[in-house]
Chain A
Amino acid sequence: MENIYTYKKQKDGRDSWVCEEPDGNRYMVYEDPSIKDKTDLKAILSSATEDEIEFIKQLLK
């Protein structure tokens, strides 16, 4: 199971998300978890070889 994120706009204007983990623990995060995922992917791709990047491009077509 994956974490469940629920959006909440804070009174002071910040974006936030309630993160609920599969074990029931809950806490707030203040960075868009979907952007974080893209950041992680970018970090992975930054260390990939040209062949690996080309392979991923083919998969995404």
Chain B
Amino acid sequence: MADITINITDVVKSNNVKTFSNKTMSYKQNNITTHTSGVTGYQGYAMQLGHQAINPADSTAYFIGSKFEIPPNTTENNVKFGIPKTGTIKAMSVYQRMTGVAGTSETSTIEASVNGSLTTITTTFANNVNNTQTLYTGLNIAVVQGDLFALKWTTPAWATNPTGFNSMISIYLE
């Protein structure tokens, strides 16, 4: 790393501050500590969503947000939360487990609700295998700081309903 030289030639005078002109400060390399994060593309962040276990009913629209201490709820206002930083939803991971029994293979729809406006993330979410992770990538859902967000999960008419359904969800934004 080269030595650093700073020329001070343009300091505006204000209350009790002297004006400097054509002064030079030099810093030797061995007096400088450089910090690097080692991370690139670090403007992204992730949101965590989850809920208490539920025995889900057929053909029902549930909302899932960051209200971890209640089951998925049919009222969005009970679980939605605010987007902390403007960005675009790029990916979502869902890890699910059933503390009771897995359901049959009928598929659900999961949508992103942004201020009540819905965008489909998947129509093929299934609850027939316990302890599984499902990844959804290639998403492109714009959100603005302060938007109110939740996931809408619309269940199918199962032959056998899953019981004790839990999901741990992470949503990545850039």
Contact = CB atoms under 8 A, between A and B. Distances in A.
Interface in B119-160: 159-160
Interface string B91-114: 000000000010010000000000
Contacts of A26: 57, 60, 74
Main secondary structure of the interface of B (DSSP, over half): loop
Given A11-B104, A18-B57, A18-B58, A24 B160 contact: no
A10 B58 CA distance: 11
A23 B54 CA distance: 16
B160 A30 contact: no
Contacts of A23: 74-75
Interface of B: 54-58, 60, 71, 73-75, 101, 104, 159-161, 163
Given A10-B160, A10-B161, A11-B159, A27 B58 contact: no
A14 B163 CA distance: 12
A54 B54 CA distance: 41
Given A18-B57, A30-B55, A24 B74 contact: yes
Contacts of B104: 11
A25 B51 CA distance: 15
B51 to A, nearest CB: 12
- Please indicate which of the listed interface residues B56, B58, B73, B161 has the most CB atoms of chain A within 10 Å of its own CB: B161
Contacts of A12: 101, 160
**7 tightest A-B contacts by CB?**
A11-B159, A28-B55, A26-B57, A11-B160, A24-B74, A10-B160, A18-B57
